[in-house]
Amino acid sequence: MKHHLISAAAAVTVFPDTTVPDVVDMVKCKIAELEAEGSDDAFFICDVGDIIKKDIKWREMLPRVSPFYAVKCNTDETVIKTLVTLGLGFDCASKGEIAQVMKHGVSPSRIIYANPCKQKSFVKYAAKHGVDLMTFDNEAELIKIKDVYPEARLVLRILPTTQVQVRCQLGNKFGCHPDNALKLLMKAQELNLNVMGISFHVGSGVEEAKAFSCAVHQARDVWDLALDMGFNMTLLDVGGGFPGQKSAPITFEEIAIVLNDALDYYFPKSSGVEIIAEPGRYYVASAFTLTCNIIAKRTVARDKSEDDAFIVGSPDGHNKQNLSLNDEPSHMYYLNDGVYGSFNSLMYDHAKVEPCVFNDSLYSFTSSVWGPTCDGLDCIMQECRLPEMEVGQWMYFLEMGAYTLCAGSTFNGIPRPNCLYVCASQLWTMLYPEEVSEKRRCSKPSVDLQEALGTISCCTDQELLLC
Ligand code: PLP
């Protein structure tokens, strides 16, 4: 029985090679399949192998730091399942996220409830399920926890005070200033609560490695304060902020070098302190490619204001004569995903995106790219240069895995894109060794891409598919 490539069961297509085919070839191939069916839906391609490679690099570069993936960054079930299988811990921000990871059999000991301002009933839920590790940064939170979960193991989230370039500031909302830590720790002591760790978050998308070394130093100062007060301190949480895309202004490796040095200095191995982190974008940003269809197009004169913009090439050609001699038309493209969908990252994550097209024309035009909803705010790119494209053609966007699908809505009835999952078998073997070795017997040494992507048999998300 033949099934469409993107099945509700989120099957993973595994290629019998060390790497999956180039993502551009896969995008082309999927487009061909959709067009053959008469479909023009937007879609994601997720390279599960990219996530596995990220984990290998993390273990190599930060061997002392256990990653607790920040679920909020991308809640896709296949992502979560992959990370569960890789043995990660999880940073959950709510009851829903705790339930999502526990559904995959994650033990409560592998979860940190890392939201310093929690809904009371959610804390009760955490207590009921034994998720006892949680952060706090204010007095009201301590009183709440005392009331519903006094046995919880508490991690004080401090505010890193060093000014650094960062894409998303978090310090305006969370973190106890180190100067106020003593007062807060005294309150915890008065309530007889179990403070056992310090955490921080340098900001999401940090652009300077020193953010980590400075924060570790500050954590050490507060740690010593807590030790002096008699708390039994055992856990340091260095938060998130690790870059996950090639276009990031700083590399993961640069941060790892600086962070390792700081950890070795302030929390040497001999101290026996457990160190965890809450990476989000690092694991998922580069694994996802989004492809959208151009559903509509409008051509306007570039030097006209919006009020007197006119359409070039209206059916009777009448408007054409309005173009000034040295004017160049500007094209407005409307895609079937936008700011209310996967491109919400433009607003919430301050992301920058770059459209890629299958058109190697030497001529490019001033263009703007818009989402599909009726809101003028739904603009993906105010201005860029693109070759002239037509309705029905496609644009794709690389590195779209972080803070995209998870916060997208279906405003205006626009559906969220489906996702096609792929993986190189050599990497898949690391996740499911027995499955692969058994199925490999029937795999071919090389695979035709169209055949691989177009002929998926009926499968569940547990099953491995080789062509
Ligand atoms: N931990 C907490 C508490 C966060 O708020 C966030 C992001 O907002 C993260 C971890 C993940 O950050 P990043 O995706 O930059 O690694």
Token pair 């990220």 in the structure block, residue:
54
Q: What angle do CA 375, 407, 417 make, to 5 degrees?
A: 80
- Distance of CA 68 from the midpoint of ligand 1 (Å): 10
Rounded to an integer, the average pLDDT of 440-459 is 41
**Pair 274, 345 in one domain:** no
Under 8 Å CB-to-CB from 228, ≥6 apart: which residues? none
Per-residue pLDDT at 459: 31
Higher pLDDT, 114 or 208: 114
Rounded to an integer, the average pLDDT of 119-146 is 98
**pLDDT interval class at 432 (50, 70, 90):** confident
Tokens of 18: 């060390």
Beta carbons within 10 angstroms of residue 379's beta carbon: 17
pLDDT more than 90, % of the chain:
71
**Pair 313, 404 in one domain:** yes
Domain count, the chain: 3
Higher pLDDT, 430 or 466: 430
**Pair 34, 99 in one domain:** no
- Residue ranges making up the domain that contains 53: 49-279
Is residue 212's pLDDT more than 70?
yes
Residue of 117, 374, 406, 467 with catalytic role: 374
**Pair 28, 53 in one domain:** no
Cβ of 279 closer than 6 Å to ligand 1, yes or no, is yes
Cβ of 137 closer than 6 Å to ligand 1, yes or no, is no
What CA–CA distances, in Å, run from 220 to 137, 160, 171, 199, 237? 17, 12, 19, 10, 12
Per-residue pLDDT at 187: 98
Cβ of 201 closer than 6 Å to ligand 1, yes or no, is yes
**Pair 408, 448 in one domain:** no
Which CATH number fits the domain that encloses residue 142? 3.20.20.10
Cβ of 283 closer than 6 Å to ligand 1, yes or no, is no
Cβ of 73 closer than 6 Å to ligand 1, yes or no, is yes
- pTM for the model stands at 0.88
Q: How far apart are CA 408 and CA 21, in angstroms?
A: 28
> What are the pLDDT digits (tens) for 336-380?
999 999 999 999 888 999 999 999 888 899 999 999 999 999 999
- Distance of CA 226 from the midpoint of ligand 1 (Å): 25
89-98, 309-318, 431-440, 448-457: the lowest-pLDDT one: 309-318
Length of the chain: 467
**Pair 218, 157 in one domain:** yes
Half-sphere exposure of 228 (CA within 13 A, CB side): 10
**Pair 128, 63 in one domain:** yes
Q: How far apart are CA 450 and CA 33, in angstroms?
A: 8
Tokens of 364: 């490019």
**Pair 19, 55 in one domain:** no
Pick the last residue of a domain from 279, 313, 341. 279
Compute CA 439 distance to the chain's CA centroid, rounded to the nearest angstrom.
31
130-139, 153-162, 396-405, 426-435: the lowest-pLDDT one: 426-435
**Pair 259, 161 in one domain:** yes
Higher pLDDT, 89 or 427: 89
Q: Which of 204, 245, 250 to probe ligand 1 with, by most ligand atoms within 8 A of CB?
A: 204
Tokens of 139: 């007095």
**pLDDT interval class at 436 (50, 70, 90):** low
Nearest to 275 by CA among 208, 200, 209: 200
Which residue owns the Cα nearest ligand 1 atom 12? Answer: 240
Annotation marks residue 374 as catalytic:
yes
Nearest to 198 by CA among 169, 226, 228, 163: 226
Cβ of 241 closer than 6 Å to ligand 1, yes or no, is yes
Q: How far apart are CA 196 and CA 400, in angstroms?
A: 37
- Distance of CA 350 from the midpoint of ligand 1 (Å): 14
Phi, psi of 322 (to 5 degrees): -75, -15
Q: How far apart are CA 411 and CA 393, in angstroms?
A: 23
Tokens of 33: 């399949």
Q: How far apart are CA 94 and CA 71, in angstroms?
A: 10
Which CATH number fits the domain that encloses residue 389? 2.40.37.10
Half-sphere exposure of 284 (CA within 13 A, CB side): 31
**pLDDT interval class at 310 (50, 70, 90):** very low
Instruction: Tell me the one-letter amino acid at 26.
Output: M
Q: How far apart are CA 86 and CA 428, in angstroms?
A: 11
Per-residue pLDDT at 13: 79
Per-residue pLDDT at 448: 52
**Pair 234, 263 in one domain:** yes
Pick the last residue of a domain from 262, 279, 296. 279
> What are the pLDDT digits (tens) for 377-420?
999 999 999 999 999 999 999 999 999 999 899 999 999 999 99
**Pair 99, 185 in one domain:** yes
**Pair 270, 161 in one domain:** yes
- Distance of CA 408 from the midpoint of ligand 1 (Å): 18
Is residue 102's pLDDT more than 70?
yes
Token pair 């296949």 in the structure block, residue:
78
Is residue 2's pLDDT more than 50?
no
Pick the last residue of a domain from 398, 413, 428. 413
What CA–CA distances, in Å, run from 163 to 38, 132, 175, 180? 53, 32, 14, 18
